[in-house]
Structure formats: C-alpha cells, structure tokens
Amino acid sequence: MKYPVIICDDDRTLANNLANNVKYAAENLVEDNTAYENVEISVEQVATTFEQVVSYVVAKDIQNAIYFLDIELSQNSEAKNGVDLAEFIKKQDPNAQIIFVTAYDKYAPLTYRRRIGAIDYINKALDQNDMMKRLEETITGAIQSINNLTKSGRKELVYKVGRRINKVEDTNIYYLENSPTQHKVTLITETGSAEFRSNISKISDENDFLVKVSQSCVVNPNNIDSIDFSKKTITFPNGDEVIFARSCRKNVKNLLSKYPEINVK
C-alpha cells in the first residue's frame, strides 16, 4: 500500500531537511522490518505555505496521507497557521495522520481545543539520531492507524461536491450510473440521488462493495431486488431498472450464488 507524505514548513531549508529525514526514516523502516516490505512511503510534496498544501491536496484528491506540519507558517499572526491547515486537511482527507513539527510546546493546547487529533509532536531541536528515531516511531504509528481506519469494516462511498466531502454508507446505496452531464455520475440511494464529478471506472476501482454491470453503471448487490436475464435488467426496491451489458452477464449471474435473496425473473 502507498502512503503519501506531505511536508509544510515556512522555512524552505528546514522543510527540505525534514523531507530528507523522512525519506531516510521510511527506508530504514522498510529495510529493517519484513512486515513493511510491500509498503511504499513517498514524499509527494514539500511546501512552505498553507495555500500550497491546500491546492495540492484538493487537486490531487490526496487520501490516507501522512502530514508533517510546522505550526507557525508565517510571522504574521493573522495568517493561517499549521493548526488551520490541519483542520482543513482533516475535512479533505478523513484518515489523515497529522504530525506537528515545532520548536514550541505552547501550541499543544490549541490543537486539543480545535480537536485536530494530531498523532504526535516532534521538536525541531532534536539532534539527528533522536530525530530519526522519533520519525521512525511516528511513521510506524501513522501507518498502523491508517490501516486500522481503512480496514475497520466501515464501507462508505466518499465523494466531493465543490470542497464539501460527503459520505454515504454502502447499505443506503442502490447504484451509480453516468450522468447526462459530461464527466459526472449520478448516485441513487434509498433516500434520493446526488450528482458529482467522477467516472464509473474510478468508482468501481475504489469501492469493492460495488459491482460493475456495464461501462456506465455499478450496482450494490445487497440492494438488488430482482434480475431479469431475458431483458438484461436489474431492478431495485424503489422500482428503478438498469440494464446490464452482455459482456457482464457472467458477473451478474455469479451474484446469485453470493446473494440468494435476489429474485430471478
């Protein structure tokens, strides 16, 4: 599994030094522990401002990442700081692992009040050996935390409309299909519908509880009411029907053994 790392410090030299230390710590972790031999830890961005990180995280749709943030990102007390950045990141990347790298402990109460949920604080004044040890410990903890969050059994479809992140539990989802609007899909649920920018292939790849039944549609087998093989239609509890492709007939037929409650017409 790949774990992206993003670093932000308003001092470019310190940011680059931290990036190098993180790379070395990650290499040591992978080399010294066979349990991490398939882990890829990659520094994706080294930034110096709040705005750089925000733009990158949104544009790249970064998820399940590890963030090393300086709390003071500007000498201007009115400017956005690392705590503001962490708060934004948590909304965009719910499983984000936040580590503050700072020379001051006075900011810790602020992060608690803001409910940031930082997993660690690392003092910039540590010598090289202690810094490497702390980084290895922190990266290990971050990986374990991300793994626990992604494997907790919760299955949700996560999508964005503008900057707002929405989550829908799998039990509520009926199907998704291409929207008449280019580059968008329509989500149909037990309670209604929504439209957002994405494509069926991406949704299929990212959500293993959905089954692709054509190039333009994925369905949730748990909410299929019936299948009509002569008409090549799949019906849902709300009465909606979708057509499955001839090339997907075998996949659709295989659903019957896994979901015996599905009616066959």
- Has residue 247 got a pLDDT over 90? yes
- Rounded to whole angstroms, the Cα distance separating 170 from 174 reads 8
Full domain range(s) for residue 102: 2-150
Confidence class for position 158, pLDDT limits 50, 70, 90:
confident
Average pLDDT along the chain: 88
Q: Which has the higher per-residue pLDDT, 138 or 152?
A: 138
Question: What pLDDT is attached to residue 151?
Answer: 67
pLDDT of residue 113: 47
Instruction: Note if the pTM is more than 0.75.
Output: no
The CATH number that applies at residue 9 is: 3.40.50.2300
pLDDT at 150 over 80: no
* pLDDT of residue 191 exceeding 80: yes
Same-domain check for residues 164 and 242: yes
Which of 4-13, 16-25, 187-196 has the least mean pLDDT? 187-196
For the purposes of burial, counting CB atoms within 10 Å of the CB of 120, is it exposed (0-12), middle (13-18) or buried (19 or more)?
Answer: middle
Q: Report, as an integer, the average pLDDT of 89-117.
A: 72
pLDDT for position 224: 94
Cα 128 from Cα 243, distance rounded (Å): 61
DSSP string over the chain: -EEEEEEE-SSHHHHHHHHHHHHHHHHHHHHH-GGGTT-EEEEEEEESSHHHHHHHHHHHT--S-EEEE-S---S-TTS--HHHHHHHHHHH-TT-EEEEEES-STTHHHHHHTT----EEEETT--HHHHHHHHHHHHHHHHHHHHHHHTSS--EEEEEETTEEEEEEGGGEEEEEE-SSTTEEEEEESS-EEEEE--HHHHHHH-TT-EEEETTEEE-GGG--EEETTTTEEE-TTS-EEEPPGGGHHHHHHHHHH-TTSEE-
pLDDT in tens, 29-40: 888 877 787 889
pLDDT higher for 178 or 190? Answer: 178
Q: What is the mean pLDDT of residues 77-93?
A: 86
Where is pLDDT greater, at 217 or 101? 217
Same-domain pairing of 7 and 26: yes
User: Which pLDDT score, from 0 to 100, does residue 77 have?
Assistant: 65
Region 235-260: mean pLDDT is 92
Question: Looking at 135, 150, 165, which one is the last position of a domain?
Answer: 150
Asked if 170 and 117 sit in the same domain, the reply is no
- Count structural domains, the chain: 2
Q: Do residues 143 and 39 share a domain?
A: yes
